[in-house]
Each structure stands twice: as C-alpha cells, then as structure tokens.
Amino acid sequence: MELLLDSITKIAQEHPERDAITLNRQNYTYDMILEATERFRGALLGLGIQRHDRVGILLPNSAHFPIAYYAVLGLGAVAVPLNIMLKSRELAYQLEDSEARAIISWSNFSSQVEKAAENLETLTHRIYLGDGSPSESENMVDLIRTGERLPHSPEISPDDIAVILYTAGVTGCPKGAELTHHNLAHHAEEFRKHLRITVRDRFLAVMPFYHALGQGMLMNLAFVSGAELVIHSRFHPGDVLKALQEEQITYFLGVPAMYHMISNFPSAQKYETRALRYCLSGGSKLPKELALYFESECGHVLMEGYGLSETNSMICLNLATDMGYNGSVGQVIGGTELRIADENGEELPVGDVGEILIRGETVMQCYRGRPEASAQTLRDGWLHTGDLGKIDIDGNLYIVDRKDDMILKSGFKIYPREIEGILEQLPHVEEVAVVGVQDPVVGQEIKVCVVLKNGADLSSGDIIEYCRQQMAAYKCPRIVRFYKELPKAPGGKIQKGELRQ
C-alpha cells in the first residue's frame, strides 16, 4: 500500500487545478497546497527538524493545518496535533511528554505557548502563523515563501511513527497514541473505497483537524480522494445549513451536539440539501430521539460510527441508511477485526454484553513512553477499548456503556481524576469527586461533587471560574453540587454510581 503522502502527491499531480480547500470564499488548488507543503517542509529541514523529531501543531482549521501536518510527515518527522483549547499547563505536559522539538502555532495562542515553553529543554523552535509573533520565533508564512521545495523523503517506512494523538485513556494522564504511516494510509484508503469518495465530493469541515475524527474522517480522507474541503473554523448551525445549500456539500461529519443544534435551528427545513450524500455522526453516543428528529427536520438519515484515537478515528460505520435508525454503529471496515470479550478476554456469544476488543491495520503501535499502559491496553494482539458493547447476528455493533469512569462530552474524552486533582488544590475543598451525567445535547456533562471544609465559603460559580482558569473550556464542569459527605463503600472508595444519579 502507498503512503498517505504518495496518494496525496499523485492526486495533486493528476488534478493540479482542482480546488483542495475553500475557506472564506478563498480557493486553494491541490497544486498550491502541494507547493506550500513542500516549501514549508524544506524550511523545516533548514531549521534542523529531522526524521523522527516530534513537532506540535496548534492551529485552528485552516489551509495551513494540512500544510503543516503533511510537511512534518514528509520529513519522516512526527506530527503532534494539539487541542487549541488547551491552557499552558496542559500544553507543556503534552509537549514535554512527546519531547517536541518544535511547535507550529497560530499567533493568537502565543501567550499560552510561550508560557508552556518556559521550562521545556527539548523545544528549540516556535513557529507562528499570523502577525505579532514573539521574539526569537519564526513566521510560518515567511518560511513557506522562502523555503526550497522538498518532496517527501523516500526513506520513510510504512512502519515509521507518523502522528501522536493524545487521548485521556484510562489512567488519568493524557497518553500519546503512536500511529504509523501505514495506519493512516490504510484507514483513509478503506473509507475512501467504502464510501466511494471521488474528486467530485465536497466535504464541509467543522470538526477540528486536531481531533482524531477531523484528521481521519475529514482531512486525510478528503486529500487522498481528491475531494474539496470547505473549511469553517467555527461551528454555527445556521452557517452549516447555508453552506450545505450554497456550496452543494456532499459529505458532512459532526458530533451529536452539532446535529441537535442544526435540527433545532429556525427554518432548518427550508434549506435545500439534496446534494448531501453522507451525514456521519461520531464522538459520542447518538440518541435515538435525535436521529429520528434530524431525519424528520432535515431529510437525511444519520450514519453513526465508532472509533478511538488509538484506532486512528472510526473503525465502524452504519452504512445501512436505507433501513433507518437501529441504534447500531454498524460493522467494522476492512482490515479490522472486532470481538466482545469477558473479563478474561474470552470471546462472548452473539448478543452478550462485554468489553469491545479491536485488532487490525489501524490500531496504534503503543502509548508513547508508557510500556505498562501499552501492555495493559494491547494484550495478545487485541486493543482493549474499555467500552462495553454487543454484536448481533449480522455483525452489527451496539455500544452499551463505558467500562471505566471516562466522560465523553461532545466527542472529547475527559478523565475525572485530572479535574479532581485541580480542585483538590483549592484550600476550601475537603473532598471532591467528578462524574459524568447523561446529557441529550453533549452526550455527557461534567458534574463536580464537593465537600467543603468547616467554615468554608465557596460557591458553584467560584469553582467553575477556577476551572476555567486552569483547564480547557471543554473540561470545565457545568454542574456543581455540595455535599456534607460523599457516599462511600466499606473500604472507603467513593461510590460514583450514586453521585451520577
């Protein structure tokens, strides 16, 4: 199988004048994107970025994200996409953990980046997109303009690590899932074939490219297919409906919260969206009521999928749209095996609920620098997902629940222990527990359960504001409840099941 970069280069050479990206009514052809990518790649090499070096990418959806991403991959270096909502503490952790040598960031994020970089010995280059770059940093546009064109390295092996995607995992600290060039290429090619994506397709990109879904099911899939990416840097339901109509979009991907807002937007039925071939939903469980309501309001059946950062995005997709909603996330795409297992890893009969195990061509190599966590998650060749599900007689997968305490909010994985550790630093807090509670819009909402010290005076607003200062907005709780004491088992373990209720 070709590398992802081989496929993209071939598309650019065969269709140089075809639009690759449209952003704010500005069009960028495949030839323009390829040239900018190769020039930026040459500039990165000139800065000393070499094969296997890690490079952080902190950019919003834009033409410059794929330019940075494919430039890094083409050097044989490793792209580390970073959530643009992360604060300096969180950025510093992921940059240090990946031992990143450089970071490519939008200049609007420079204050967080500069603070994060203060004590990072491995980070030698800060590259900014936009005006007002800090001193002793590089400008991305200048580097593209002056860089010598450099094709992707012939030394890259399909087994080389291409991307590190950070995921909350099951132990509290974000872990970097290492994905190879083969993982990326196989995933994109399989979905291109199954969805019959061609150069005539137009993708509406509102899911962020730093997210596994945005990379695997939008950016990479579009580029290997020669499709066009119509980019929106922010999500707004009215803008989406307008784009679906005016831009003749054929492919849209969103999380359930987005579909909730689209179907409830005033006059949603008036928009003409007949060009739309696919409406994919992922990131969190799609409620039946939402799927049926969206179909009645917007006239399209939602295709629900399932996957993880550890599998380079989706590995299942419900393609049976002619049968309507059935609660399934569909069947595995080619090159992937799936089984439902008991606590000993033994396969369970059809219809029984157990842990979802995955094996195949898109499964990560390991968690970077975490041999114990890798050994726990990857056992006997199978990825243990921590998700509970069941399979019917036709091989359709149904997601039932989480095996652990992970909160899944609007497609983002959130580990309660991280938030608990932050709140435990407040001097007025005696004890705290964080749980996820079901929410019809975002899937799960964050609930903080607090016991205050005697005489302490702290409001729910104080706690929420403190969280906003310390962590990304999507990790901040919406619900705060105060307790005299938290429910506990005889051994002293907090009974989070009771707090969820």
- CATH code of the region 4-179: 3.40.50.980
The structure's pTM equals 0.87
72 and 44 Cβ atoms separated by less than 8 Å: yes
Long-range Cβ pairs for the range 155-160 (8 Å, 24+): 155/51, 155/76, 156/3, 156/5, 156/51, 156/73, 156/74, 156/76, 156/181, 157/181, 158/1, 158/3, 158/182, 158/185, 160/51, 160/52, 160/76
What is the full per-residue pLDDT of the chain (501 aa) written as tens digits? Answer: 689 999 999 999 999 999 999 998 899 999 999 999 999 999 999 999 999 999 999 999 999 999 999 999 999 999 999 999 999 999 999 999 999 999 999 999 999 999 999 989 999 999 999 988 898 999 999 999 999 999 999 999 999 999 999 985 444 578 999 999 999 999 999 999 999 999 999 999 999 999 999 999 999 999 999 999 999 988 999 999 999 999 999 999 999 889 999 999 998 889 999 999 999 999 888 888 888 889 888 888 999 999 999 999 999 999 876 666 678 999 999 889 999 999 888 999 999 989 999 999 999 999 999 999 999 999 999 999 988 899 999 999 998 876 677 788 888 878 788 888 889 889 899 889 999 998 888 889 999 999 998 888 899 999 999 999 999 999 999 999 999 998 876 556 688 888 987
Report the number of secondary-structure helices (H) and strands (E) in the chain: 16, 27
Which pLDDT score, from 0 to 100, does residue 163 have? 98
Report whether 42 contacts 57 (CB < 8 A). no
Task: Report the pLDDT value the prediction gives residue 495, as an integer from 0 to 100.
Answer: 81
Class level of CATH domain 235-402: alpha beta
Domain boundaries, the chain: 4-179, 235-402, 407-500
Query: 316 vs 245, 258, 365, 378, 477, CA distance in Å?
Result: 28, 20, 20, 19, 30
Q: Report how far residue 242's alpha carbon sits from residue 27's, in angstroms, rounded to the nearest whole number.
A: 18
The structure tokens listed for 117 are: 């970089």
Within 13 Å of residue 53, how many CA atoms lie on the same side as its CB? 21
Domains 235-402 and 407-500 share a fold: no
Q: How far apart are CA 152 and CA 72, in angstroms?
A: 9
Give domain 407-500's CATH number out of 3.40.190.80, 3.40.50.300, 3.30.300.30, 3.90.1150.10. 3.30.300.30
